[in-house]
Amino acid sequence: MSNDTENLARILEWYIGAGVEETCGDEPMTLGTAPVSVSLKPQINLRAAVSAAPAAPVRQATTPLAQATGNACQNAKDLCASINSMEELRTAMENFDGCALKLTASHTVFGDGNPQARVVFVGEAPGADEDRIGVPFVGRSGHLLDKMLAAIGLDRTQCYICNILPWRPPGNRTPLDSEIAVCLPFLKRQLDLINPDYIFMLGGSAANALLDTPESISRLRGRWLEYVKSDGSKAMVLASFHPAYLLRTPGQKAKAWADFLRLSRQMKGEN
């Protein structure tokens, strides 16, 4: 479209927006006093003129990568919506090709423990040991987690353990937002199917992803939060430090211990 045509189309659109629908000649006149015999120039229908002008090209506010991520998220959501058992979900995750992390991982780390449990522990992503074995929290962090569970009288037969991502990011790098977004529908469906009363988030990234908040783990921990499952029912949520962080920063173990005790008291109805 030439500049002149584009400008004309814009001017005409402006007139239509202002309520002007027709033109009626160049001669000035006072409304209501014009002689009946006044001769009007041929009329132009502005609406017709505008719709005849070629439309300006629509610019998309997106990129191919953002579109691919959006499509993969939608595919994951659609897939999950029709899944009604943990086994179906495991198979769907193993067959899902919307997340490139699967290409570099050895296993899809689905989850471990009792799918009928009242409490689910959610970490960030499998590490090297978990990727090799296919089970969450089996490395050094997992040993510490098992000890903390034991300290409140739980083992893996009384809780369920999974991660935000079922595939290990290469070299244990921080997961990308796009990877989290694509995998989250699977975790959410897993939580729907388990239907826990309590969810314990292990680490800031896991808490941020599931609770959709940017707040730091230091601010999130130590108080009850809420997660709404897809049927509208709620689970009580606690977030605490990731076991790997506690191994590096043992001085924070007392706070994590307080969080585990808070969970235990609540589960026993002692709060």
User: In the complex, which residues of this chain contact ligand URA (CB under 6 A)?
Assistant: 123-127, 130, 136-137, 139, 141-142, 163, 244
Which one, 130 or 259, has the nearer CB to ligand URA?
Answer: 130
Shortest distance in whole angstroms from residue 131 CB to ligand URA: 9
Torsion of CA 261, 264, 269, 271, to 10 degrees: 20
List, in order, residues 6 or more apart from 213 with CB less than 8 Å away. Answer: 207, 220
Which one, 9 or 244, has the nearer CB to ligand URA?
Answer: 244
Shortest distance in whole angstroms from residue 132 CB to ligand URA: 11
- How many CA atoms, within 13 angstroms, populate the side-chain half-sphere of residue 65? 5
Which one, 50 or 176, has the nearer CB to ligand URA?
Answer: 176
Instruction: Classify strands 225-228 and 234-240 as parallel, antiparallel or unpaired.
Output: antiparallel
Shortest distance in whole angstroms from residue 257 CB to ligand URA: 19
Shortest distance in whole angstroms from residue 143 CB to ligand URA: 11
Q: Residues for the chain: how many in total?
A: 271
Helix (H) or strand (E) holding 236, with range, is strand 234-240
Given a contact cutoff of 8 angstroms between Cβ atoms, the answer to whether 53 and 3 are in contact is: no
Q: Give the CB-nearest residue to ligand URA.
A: 123
Residue 65 CB neighbour total at 10 angstroms: 9
Which one, 11 or 150, has the nearer CB to ligand URA?
Answer: 150
Shortest distance in whole angstroms from residue 109 CB to ligand URA: 6
Q: Please choose, from the candidates 165, 162, 149, the residue with its C-alpha nearest in 3D space to the C-alpha of residue 259.
A: 149
Which one, 12 or 184, has the nearer CB to ligand URA?
Answer: 184
